[in-house]
Structure 1
Amino acid sequence: MENKPVLQLKRELRVETFRQSSFDTAHQMFKDDEGKPMELTDNQCDIFTIIYHKLFNRNHIKTFTRFGKSLTVGLAVLARISTYPEKWCIASGNKEQAGIIMSYIIQHIFDNEYTMKKFVPDKGDTMEAIRRYKNKNRLNFLLTNGLLGEVFITNAKGAMGFGAPNVVLDEAALISDDEEALVFRMLGDQLDNFYFKIGNPWESGHFRETDEDPNYFNMTVNWKEGIREERITMEQVQEAKRRPFFDVMYECKFPPRDAMDDKAWIPLLTRDDIDRALIDEITGFGLNKLGVDVAGEGRNFSVIIQRFTNFARLLYKKNEPDTMAVGEVLINAKHK
C-alpha cells in the first residue's frame, strides 16, 4: 500500500466529504448524451469538487486516457461560472485541445434553466447556432447585481497579455516548461488564485515537478479505478497492455527519464545525467587543450573551451566577431 504524506491524506478526506453533494449537483443540473440525469463516478465527483468548490489553490491530476476528464472539468467550470462572478481560463498546447472542454461547457449550458437563463450570447449569435457549432472562444454569464461569470480558452503561447485568477491547464505534460511559465504568469496579479493541471504523465519537467510538490493536491486515476467505476473493461486493458505507452496512458506513471516520449524521441542525456555532470569544483588532469570557435557575424558567439581528460570548462563566450580581440583572450587563457 502506498505511504502517503499526512497532509495529502487529510486533503483526500476533505474531498471525499463533498462527493455526494457534487454527485447531486451534477445529477440535478446536467444530462448525459441520452438525455438522462448525469451520473458522475466517484473520481469524477472528486474532480468536480476540486474545481467547483476550489478546495485547494494548486492541483495536479493524472488520469488514464479516455477517462472523461474533459467532460468533468467542463461541467465543474460551467457550474462555477454560472454561480460565482469569476474569470476562468482553459489553456492547453493549442486552442483545439482547450476547445474540447469548451465544447462540453457549451453543450451543457442548455441542460437546465439555471445556466441557460444566465448565459449571455454575443451580439448576432443565436442560441441554436451556439448549441449546434460549439465553437466559441469566450462565454459570459450574467449573475445577480449585474456581475459576470466568464470563461475563455487560449493556447499556451497565446496566454501572454491575458490574466485570469482561475486557470485549468489541460494535457499539461504536453506543454513545454517555457509555455507553462507563460500560462502560470496569468495568475500573477491575483493573490487568491486557482491552478489546476491535468493530463497523462508524459515526460515533462514542470508536470513531474508539480507531481512531487507537496504544495499541490495530487490525484491519480489509473485503469484500476476505471475498472472499479466501470469506465473501462479488463479486455480493453489487456489489449492496451500489448501496445506502447501503457504505463503512461493507463497506469498513470511517468516514463523512466531515459525512455522515449510520446513523439518517439529518445533523449541522449537524461536529466539525472545532466545533474550529475554539473559539478561546481573539479581538478583537471591528463589532456589539457584549448578549443576556439570565432564568430563570423550576426548573432553567433565566439567561444573558448578548455578540455581536460576528465572534464571540459567554458572559458569564454561572447558575441565578438573581432578575431584579434578573441586572439588576445586566447593567449591569456593559454598562459593560465
Structure 2
Amino acid sequence: MKRSTLLLLSLVFASAVTPSLGDVPMTKWGKPSLQGNWDFRTVTPFQRPASFVDKEFLTMEEVEEFEAAVVAGREARAAIDFDGEYDQQDLDVGYNQFYLDQGTRMTTTMRTSQLVYPENGRMPAMTDRGRETAAYFRILQSRSPEGPEDRNLYDRCILGFNAGPPMRSGAYNNIMKLVQTEGHVAILVEMVNDHRIIPTDNGGPDLPADMRLWKGDSRGYWDGDTFVVNTKNFTHLSRFSGTGEGMLLTERFTRLDENRLEYMWTVEDLEMFEDKFTAVVEMQLTEDDVFEYACHEANYAMPLMLSGARKQEASGEEDDTWLPSWSR
C-alpha cells in the first residue's frame, strides 16, 4: 500500500475517534461544557474475566453475545422459585430485579474490562500491609457490633457503593449530576448523600496532612480540554477496593461529543497495592434526573441491628454472621 494511502487512512481514523471542538458544547468562558446528568451504567466488567484473558477488545458480535448472556442470566435468576428458606443474602441484600438498574449495554469502547491498567485488566496485587488491613476490617465486620462505628460506612449511610470517589457502575442509581461554573465544578451521585464542590484553579494551599475527609480533598484544573481532579487526604475508613488513607486519586473528565463524557480515573496507593490502577468508562447524557437518596434519614436498619445485637448479648448468644453477603 502506498504511503499516501496509509496517511489518508490514518487521518480518517483519527478524525473518527478524536472529538473536535465543533462537536463539543462549550461554555461562554471557552471551556468544554461538562454540565448535565450523566448515566454511567454498564455491564462491562470492572476486571477482565478469565474468558477474555488475552483479549482487550471485543468484536461487535461478541459484544452482542455478552450483553444477551447478561440479560438471560438475570431473567433466569428472577425465575427461580423461592424454596421457603431464607439465607444471609435474603436478609442483608433483600432486593429482587425490580429494584436493580445495572444497565444492559457494554461501554461503547467495546473493552473487556473497565480497568485499562494494569494491562491485563486485573487489579494489582495487594501488599502485606494491604492484606493485613483487609483482614482486620473483615474480622470487624464479622462480629456483633458494639455501636454504629463498628459497621461499615455503607451501613451507616456515610459513603455509598458506586458514588466513590472514584465513581463506578453499581447495582442501581448510576446517575451523576454535574454542575459547572467558571470557578467550580459540583458533582452529585444519586447514592447516599454527599456531593463534591471542586475548584477549577487548584483551590489554593493544600489542607494539613492531619485534616482528613470522607471523600478526600479534591482540587481541579484544566489540562487543555480535559478537566483533571486530584484528590487526597482521605480518612483511613474511606476504603475503595482496599485502599487506605494514603490513596491518591486522579480523575479526568473529557467531553467527547454531544452525548458522551469520558471518565478516566487512576488510584495510587503503594502502601496497600503493588501498583496503581486505572479505569475508563464513557458516561451517556440522560434526561433522567437525580432524586434525594435520604439514606441516613431513613436508616431504620441501624437501630434495629444494634438492638438485635444487644438482645443477643443479653441472652448470651454469640453470632459471627454479621459479615455482609457481598463480602463473603
Structure with higher helix content: 1
Higher relative contact order (CA closer than 8 Å, sequence separation 6+): 2
Q: TM-score, normalised by structure 2?
A: 0.19
Q: TM-score, normalised by structure 1?
A: 0.18
